[in-house]
Amino acid sequence: MNETRRAALQAALEKLPLVAILRGVRPEEIDGIFDALVEIGFKMIEIPLNSPSAFESIERIAKRCPEDVVIGAGTVLDPAACARLAELDAPILITPNTNTAVINEAVAQGLAPMIGCMTPTEALAAVAAGATTLKLFPAARLGVGYFKDLKAVLPPELPVFAVGGIGKDNMSEWMSAGIDGFGFGGSVYRPGWTAKKVEDHGRELIAEWRRVRETQIQAEFFEREADA
């Protein structure tokens, strides 16, 4: 990953840690949907490899991806995909599971591995192999209480994203519990949705994240004032 993409990824993690997951997107529609997501502010976009002709879609947007946006692949199950992503300047590599062979190759190729996990064993194995971000999956089915228990044994500086069943109605409870970011699947894109529909849903998700984050910042400020 070059320094421009590295800086863009770090900025996204700090300022708007939301990943748009375009599972099922087709090459002939990716341009319009990608443009809509970038226009409303998404900085991280994932195309799962079980989408039709996924690498063709990734290549299309990689050729014109803005410098402050980072793209990549999800549902990466084979280490062989890592070299292709590196060639395309698509450094985000997201998995549904913890496979140390995939993580090792991602690190070797200079990618940013966001690794799916459920149990403490999987999470800590991913950390040891070099994961830069953990993806709690399937988050909604596991619940906020499960996340809190898992978070207690993880390195405090390591970002954890909730993915699976996350939408505007349950973001607040996850953010209150300390989640670092989200991956949105069906709440931002479903096969057959137009770019306009993706834009509308994406805009609502970003607005909700910003609303909750602003509330948190204000609460932290008043807490500091009270302790002063």
pLDDT in tens, 123-149: 999 999 999 999 999 999 999 999 999
Point out the catalytic residue in the list 46, 105, 151, 199.
Answer: 46
The answer to whether the beta carbons of residues 131 and 112 sit under 8 Å apart is no
User: Looking at residue 208, what is its pLDDT?
Assistant: 98
The confidence score (pLDDT) of residue 196 equals: 98
Q: What is the pTM of this model?
A: 0.95
How many angstroms separate the CA atoms of 54 and 25, rounded? 8
Which residue in the list 29, 105, 135, 199 is annotated as catalytic? 135
For residues 34 and 27, what is the distance between their CA atoms, to the nearest angstrom? 11
Dig out the tokens for 191 from the structure: 């096969």
- Angstrom distance (rounded) from CA 202 to CA 198: 6
Contact 113, 102 (CB under 8 A): yes
Per DSSP, what are the bridge partners of residue 94?
114
In sign, the C-alpha dihedral spanning 162, 168, 170, 174 is positive
Q: What is the pLDDT of residue 225?
A: 73
Question: Is-catalytic flag, 63?
Answer: no
Phi/psi at 116 (5° precision): -70, 140
Q: Is 204 a catalytic site residue?
A: no
> Residues of the chain whose pLDDT is less than 70?
228
Contact 94, 20 (CB under 8 A): no
